[in-house]
A = this chain, B = another copy of it.
Amino acid sequence: MTTTTDQEAALRIASGRKPLVEPLRLGERLKELRLANQWTLEDVSQRTGLARSTLSKIENDQISPTFTAVQKLINGLGIDLPQLLTPPRAQPRTMGRRDLTRSGGGQHHPTPTYEHELLSCELAQKRMIPFKTIVRARSFDEFSEWVRHDGEEFLMVLDGEICLYTEFYEPLALAQGDSIYFDSDMGHALVSVSDQDAVVLSVCTRADP
Protein backbone atom coordinates (compact mmCIF):
# COMPACT_ATOMS: atom_id res chain seq x y z
CA MET A 1 0.00 0.00 0.00
CA THR A 2 1.45 3.11 -0.96
CA THR A 3 -0.75 5.60 0.45
CA THR A 4 -3.75 6.02 2.21
CA THR A 5 -5.76 3.80 0.59
CA ASP A 6 -4.16 0.67 0.13
CA GLN A 7 -6.03 -0.62 3.00
CA GLU A 8 -9.04 1.28 2.10
CA ALA A 9 -8.60 -0.21 -1.26
CA ALA A 10 -8.38 -3.53 0.35
CA LEU A 11 -11.55 -2.72 2.16
CA ARG A 12 -13.39 -1.98 -0.98
CA ILE A 13 -11.96 -4.75 -2.95
CA ALA A 14 -12.96 -6.98 -0.22
CA SER A 15 -16.40 -6.69 -1.47
CA GLY A 16 -15.14 -9.45 -3.62
CA ARG A 17 -13.46 -7.71 -6.45
CA LYS A 18 -10.72 -9.22 -8.50
CA PRO A 19 -7.33 -7.65 -8.38
CA LEU A 20 -7.14 -4.72 -10.69
CA VAL A 21 -4.42 -6.22 -12.75
CA GLU A 22 -6.98 -8.47 -14.27
CA PRO A 23 -9.33 -7.58 -17.08
CA LEU A 24 -12.08 -6.23 -14.85
CA ARG A 25 -15.10 -7.52 -16.67
CA LEU A 26 -16.93 -4.27 -16.46
CA GLY A 27 -19.42 -5.13 -19.13
CA GLU A 28 -20.27 -8.45 -17.65
CA ARG A 29 -20.80 -6.85 -14.30
CA LEU A 30 -23.00 -4.15 -15.69
CA LYS A 31 -25.18 -6.65 -17.43
CA GLU A 32 -25.47 -8.71 -14.32
CA LEU A 33 -26.48 -5.66 -12.35
CA ARG A 34 -28.98 -4.61 -14.94
CA LEU A 35 -30.64 -7.99 -15.18
CA ALA A 36 -30.65 -8.40 -11.43
CA ASN A 37 -32.80 -5.30 -11.26
CA GLN A 38 -34.82 -6.25 -14.28
CA TRP A 39 -33.89 -3.15 -16.11
CA THR A 40 -33.87 -2.95 -19.88
CA LEU A 41 -31.17 -1.15 -21.76
CA GLU A 42 -33.71 1.60 -22.28
CA ASP A 43 -34.29 1.89 -18.55
CA VAL A 44 -30.60 2.21 -17.90
CA SER A 45 -30.35 4.66 -20.74
CA GLN A 46 -33.00 6.84 -19.09
CA ARG A 47 -31.29 6.68 -15.76
CA THR A 48 -27.78 7.28 -16.93
CA GLY A 49 -28.23 9.44 -19.98
CA LEU A 50 -26.10 7.08 -22.03
CA ALA A 51 -27.41 5.82 -25.34
CA ARG A 52 -28.89 2.37 -25.54
CA SER A 53 -26.35 1.44 -28.13
CA THR A 54 -23.51 2.60 -25.96
CA LEU A 55 -24.72 0.51 -23.07
CA SER A 56 -25.01 -2.51 -25.31
CA LYS A 57 -21.46 -2.06 -26.49
CA ILE A 58 -20.16 -1.65 -22.98
CA GLU A 59 -21.91 -4.79 -21.86
CA ASN A 60 -20.43 -6.73 -24.75
CA ASP A 61 -16.95 -5.35 -24.21
CA GLN A 62 -16.95 -3.74 -27.59
CA ILE A 63 -15.78 -0.42 -26.24
CA SER A 64 -14.00 0.87 -23.20
CA PRO A 65 -16.19 3.57 -21.72
CA THR A 66 -14.75 6.91 -20.87
CA PHE A 67 -14.57 7.82 -17.29
CA THR A 68 -17.40 10.27 -17.63
CA ALA A 69 -19.50 7.44 -18.96
CA VAL A 70 -18.59 5.36 -15.95
CA GLN A 71 -19.60 8.23 -13.73
CA LYS A 72 -22.94 8.47 -15.44
CA LEU A 73 -23.36 4.80 -14.82
CA ILE A 74 -22.63 4.89 -11.15
CA ASN A 75 -24.66 8.02 -10.60
CA GLY A 76 -27.57 6.89 -12.66
CA LEU A 77 -27.71 3.49 -11.11
CA GLY A 78 -27.24 4.79 -7.62
CA ILE A 79 -24.33 2.53 -7.00
CA ASP A 80 -20.73 2.98 -6.12
CA LEU A 81 -17.78 2.26 -8.27
CA PRO A 82 -16.50 -0.58 -6.13
CA GLN A 83 -19.89 -2.11 -6.42
CA LEU A 84 -19.79 -1.80 -10.15
CA LEU A 85 -16.44 -3.53 -10.14
CA THR A 86 -17.49 -6.12 -7.67
CA PRO A 87 -17.95 -9.40 -9.39
CA PRO A 88 -21.50 -10.54 -9.11
CA ARG A 89 -21.98 -12.84 -6.22
CA ALA A 90 -25.61 -13.37 -5.64
CA GLN A 91 -25.63 -13.98 -1.96
CA PRO A 92 -28.73 -15.46 -0.49
CA ARG A 93 -30.31 -13.41 2.20
CA THR A 94 -30.60 -16.45 4.32
CA MET A 95 -28.37 -16.73 7.29
CA GLY A 96 -25.89 -19.45 7.70
CA ARG A 97 -23.48 -18.24 5.09
CA ARG A 98 -19.91 -19.26 5.27
CA ASP A 99 -16.83 -18.62 3.22
CA LEU A 100 -13.71 -20.72 3.46
CA THR A 101 -10.31 -19.50 2.39
CA ARG A 102 -7.47 -21.97 2.34
CA SER A 103 -4.06 -20.78 3.33
CA GLY A 104 -2.73 -18.63 0.51
CA GLY A 105 -5.99 -18.94 -1.34
CA GLY A 106 -7.17 -15.38 -0.96
CA GLN A 107 -7.18 -12.64 -3.54
CA HIS A 108 -3.72 -11.22 -3.81
CA HIS A 109 -3.36 -7.55 -4.34
CA PRO A 110 0.22 -6.39 -4.50
CA THR A 111 1.35 -2.83 -4.04
CA PRO A 112 4.82 -1.39 -3.61
CA THR A 113 4.66 -1.33 0.15
CA TYR A 114 2.28 -4.11 1.05
CA GLU A 115 1.01 -7.28 -0.46
CA HIS A 116 -2.55 -7.83 0.59
CA GLU A 117 -4.33 -11.13 0.46
CA LEU A 118 -8.01 -10.64 0.87
CA LEU A 119 -9.68 -13.44 2.72
CA SER A 120 -13.26 -14.59 2.45
CA CYS A 121 -13.92 -12.55 -0.62
CA GLU A 122 -16.70 -14.76 -1.81
CA LEU A 123 -18.98 -13.13 0.69
CA ALA A 124 -20.11 -9.71 -0.44
CA GLN A 125 -22.25 -8.52 2.40
CA LYS A 126 -20.16 -8.78 5.46
CA ARG A 127 -19.37 -6.53 8.33
CA MET A 128 -15.71 -7.24 8.63
CA ILE A 129 -12.96 -7.31 6.06
CA PRO A 130 -10.25 -9.78 6.91
CA PHE A 131 -6.99 -9.80 5.05
CA LYS A 132 -3.49 -11.05 5.42
CA THR A 133 -0.74 -8.65 4.53
CA ILE A 134 2.89 -9.13 3.74
CA VAL A 135 4.64 -5.98 4.80
CA ARG A 136 7.31 -5.16 2.31
CA ALA A 137 7.99 -1.62 3.35
CA ARG A 138 11.15 -1.16 5.37
CA SER A 139 10.93 2.53 6.01
CA PHE A 140 8.22 4.97 6.80
CA ASP A 141 9.45 7.11 3.93
CA GLU A 142 8.06 4.63 1.46
CA PHE A 143 4.59 5.89 2.25
CA SER A 144 3.61 9.05 0.55
CA GLU A 145 0.73 9.62 2.92
CA TRP A 146 -1.05 8.10 5.87
CA VAL A 147 -3.24 5.14 5.41
CA ARG A 148 -6.66 5.92 6.81
CA HIS A 149 -10.15 4.64 6.38
CA ASP A 150 -13.36 4.82 8.31
CA GLY A 151 -13.96 2.42 11.09
CA GLU A 152 -11.83 0.27 13.31
CA GLU A 153 -9.09 -2.19 12.69
CA PHE A 154 -7.72 -5.16 14.52
CA LEU A 155 -4.28 -6.40 13.65
CA MET A 156 -2.15 -9.31 14.76
CA VAL A 157 1.41 -10.04 13.78
CA LEU A 158 1.60 -13.55 12.39
CA ASP A 159 5.23 -13.56 11.46
CA GLY A 160 8.22 -11.30 11.74
CA GLU A 161 8.25 -8.01 13.55
CA ILE A 162 6.77 -4.72 12.53
CA CYS A 163 6.74 -1.12 13.55
CA LEU A 164 3.34 0.53 13.57
CA TYR A 165 3.42 4.24 12.88
CA THR A 166 0.32 6.12 13.85
CA GLU A 167 -0.69 9.71 13.56
CA PHE A 168 -1.18 10.39 17.24
CA TYR A 169 1.24 8.04 18.94
CA GLU A 170 4.87 7.17 18.97
CA PRO A 171 5.87 4.32 16.68
CA LEU A 172 5.21 0.98 18.26
CA ALA A 173 7.12 -2.26 17.79
CA LEU A 174 4.99 -5.37 17.47
CA ALA A 175 6.42 -8.86 17.56
CA GLN A 176 4.86 -12.11 16.50
CA GLY A 177 1.65 -12.77 18.40
CA ASP A 178 1.18 -9.17 19.46
CA SER A 179 -2.04 -7.53 18.44
CA ILE A 180 -3.57 -4.09 18.44
CA TYR A 181 -6.97 -2.54 17.98
CA PHE A 182 -7.29 1.02 16.80
CA ASP A 183 -9.46 3.58 15.07
CA SER A 184 -8.41 3.31 11.50
CA ASP A 185 -9.32 6.84 10.55
CA MET A 186 -6.23 7.72 12.50
CA GLY A 187 -3.40 7.71 9.99
CA HIS A 188 -1.35 4.56 10.20
CA ALA A 189 1.35 2.68 8.33
CA LEU A 190 3.30 -0.52 8.83
CA VAL A 191 6.91 -1.28 8.13
CA SER A 192 8.72 -4.53 8.64
CA VAL A 193 11.67 -4.38 11.00
CA SER A 194 12.54 -8.05 10.75
CA ASP A 195 14.99 -9.53 8.29
CA GLN A 196 12.32 -10.92 6.07
CA ASP A 197 8.99 -9.37 5.21
CA ALA A 198 6.57 -9.46 8.09
CA VAL A 199 3.12 -10.98 7.87
CA VAL A 200 0.12 -9.55 9.66
CA LEU A 201 -3.52 -10.42 9.82
CA SER A 202 -5.90 -7.48 9.77
CA VAL A 203 -9.60 -7.24 10.22
CA CYS A 204 -11.32 -3.98 9.42
CA THR A 205 -14.86 -2.96 10.12
CA ARG A 206 -16.87 -2.12 7.13
CA ALA A 207 -19.14 0.81 6.55
CA ASP A 208 -22.58 0.02 7.84
CA PRO A 209 -23.94 -3.19 6.37
Looking at the complex, which one of B12, B86, B93 makes contact with A78 (CB distance below 8 Å)?
B12
The answer to whether A128 and B203 touch (CB under 8 A), given A37-B144, A74-B20, A175-B103, is yes
Instruction: Tell whether, in the assembled complex, residue A145 and residue B8 are in contact, meaning their CB atoms are under 8 Å apart.
Output: no
With an 8 A cutoff between CB atoms, is A139 at the interface? no
Instruction: Tell whether, in the assembled complex, residue B112 and residue A181 are in contact, meaning their CB atoms are under 8 Å apart.
Output: no
With an 8 A cutoff between CB atoms, is A148 at the interface? yes
Looking at the complex, which one of B47, B104, B127 makes contact with A177 (CB distance below 8 Å)?
B104
With an 8 A cutoff between CB atoms, is A183 at the interface? yes
Q: Closest CB-CB distance, A61 to chain B, in whole Å? A: 10
Copies per complex of this chain: 2
Query: What separation, in Å, do the CA atoms of A182 and B99 have in the docked complex?
Result: 6
The closest CB in chain B to the CB of A42 belongs to B1
Mark A1-36 against chain B: 1 for CB-CB distance below 8 A, else 0: 111111111111111111111011010000001001
Instruction: Tell whether, in the assembled complex, residue A208 and residue B130 are in contact, meaning their CB atoms are under 8 Å apart.
Output: no
Give residues 146-197 of A contacting B (CB, 8 Å): 146, 148, 150-152, 154, 156, 158, 166-169, 172, 174-183, 185-187
Which A positions have Cβ atoms within 8 angstroms of B? 1-21, 23-24, 26, 33, 36-40, 42-43, 46-47, 64-71, 74-75, 77-83, 85-86, 88, 90-91, 93-104, 109-112, 119-120, 123, 125-128, 130, 144-146, 148, 150-152, 154, 156, 158, 166-169, 172, 174-183, 185-187, 201, 203, 205-209
Q: Besides A24-B67, A80-B109, A103-B177, 7 other CB < 8 A contacts?
A: A3-B88, A4-B86, A11-B37, A11-B79, A95-B185, A97-B182, A128-B128
